[in-house]
Amino acid sequence: MNMNSITHTAVLAALSQVQDPDLKKDLVTLNMIRNLTVDGRKVSFTLVLTTPACPLKDAIKNACVTAIKTLVSADAEVDVVVTAETRGASDGRFTGVKNVVAVASGKGGVGKSTVAANLAVALAHAGAQVGLLDADLYGPSMPLMFNLRGQQPLIRSDNGKDRMVPFTRYGVRVMSIGFLVPEEQAVVWRGPMISKALQQLAFDTDWGTLDYLVVDLPPGTGDIHITLAQQFQPRGVIVVTTPQPVALADARKAAAMFRMPGVTAPILGVVENMAYFVPPDMPEKKYHIFGAGGGKALAEELGVPLLAQIPMVETVRTGGDTGKPVALAAKSPEGAAFGELAGNVARALAVLD
């Protein structure tokens, strides 16, 4: 074709041949092509993805350019601006929050808080507006993991109501009971008291506008968890486990809880933490200390994807202990694993609608 054949109609027809890999519809039908202009050989438009954390953004952009050059004109000069409008809607009483994502585990010690912290950082690193609610009131970890120990939140008056201002660290807005209770003081409240305290912590925080609010739930199952699921109305739940049978057994119980009548929340998938050990001096080696294949088997049993396998490496532990989540090192193997997790979570949420 010559350059005179480059028209809005021809370009839209070409772009209608490009599908979103997750939503299984073409970009034009999904209204993902905006601000299309054609000036001679110059074609420019905005590609609006369903999430800034989309791991396929470059592939989709390249597919658009290829479609225009193949189906319209090989001489076309294509300029694509990539942006995002996160899918979802405000959940329950979290005004301005598009997606509440709960991170759960059947037992403690599987690295649930580590996964929650690094997931939040990886989503923020991808360009999303992210909040992190430390809902593990008996053992809050986020003040340590985000290097915010000893801090107290500011109070802001909003239409006559006092609201707490979350701390912002590494692009993530963080709130925890650990900011309100002295570190050495044990939380010994009974169920109704802790449930009320958690609701106040969550709903009296000025989160602003968020694409994702990651909620680090307490380990286990019980009345508090059911109340949290009902009050927070998460759009999706991530189940964290390690490969060994005892952890998998408890993870099944956690998943079953979110499929109970009156509690139902979609399970986005399984994260297998401490999946294998990588010696620092032999990065090509993998040792499955806790067994192999447990996370994949659980995901298949639940009928959900295995979202990520997180390696057992010292930097993951030291990152949490020093307040610098390893997801900040996005190019490291362990940082890349959390980046993959963030992309898979974003994609799983995008296809819920």
* Domain co-membership, 252 together with 227: yes
Q: How many CB atoms lie within 10 A of CB 313?
A: 21
Q: What is the pTM of this model?
A: 0.86
* Domain co-membership, 189 together with 264: yes
- CA dist 278 and 293 (Å) reads 16
Classify residue 93: in a domain, yes or no.
no
Pick out the chain residues at pLDDT < 50.
1-3
Residue that finishes a domain, picked among 39, 54, 84: 84
Classify residue 277: in a domain, yes or no.
yes
* Domain co-membership, 61 together with 113: no
pLDDT the model gives residue 2: 47
Classify residue 112: in a domain, yes or no.
yes
- What confidence tens digit (pLDDT) does each residue in 66-76 have? 999 999 999 99
Q: What is the CATH number of the domain that holds 233?
A: 3.40.50.300
Residue that finishes a domain, picked among 53, 84, 115: 84
* Domain co-membership, 166 together with 310: yes
Q: How many domains does the chain have?
A: 2
Q: What is the CATH number of the domain that holds 25?
A: 3.30.300.130
Classify residue 89: in a domain, yes or no.
no
* Domain co-membership, 71 together with 194: no
pLDDT the model gives residue 268: 95
In 3D, which of 105, 108, 53 has the Cα closest to residue 272?
105
* Domain co-membership, 204 together with 59: no
- CA dist 248 and 267 (Å) reads 15
pLDDT the model gives residue 265: 84
pLDDT the model gives residue 118: 96
pLDDT the model gives residue 169: 96
* Domain co-membership, 328 together with 238: yes
pLDDT the model gives residue 55: 77
pLDDT the model gives residue 1: 44
Q: Could you list the residue range(s) of the whole structural domain that residue 322 is in? A: 100-350
* Domain co-membership, 202 together with 287: yes
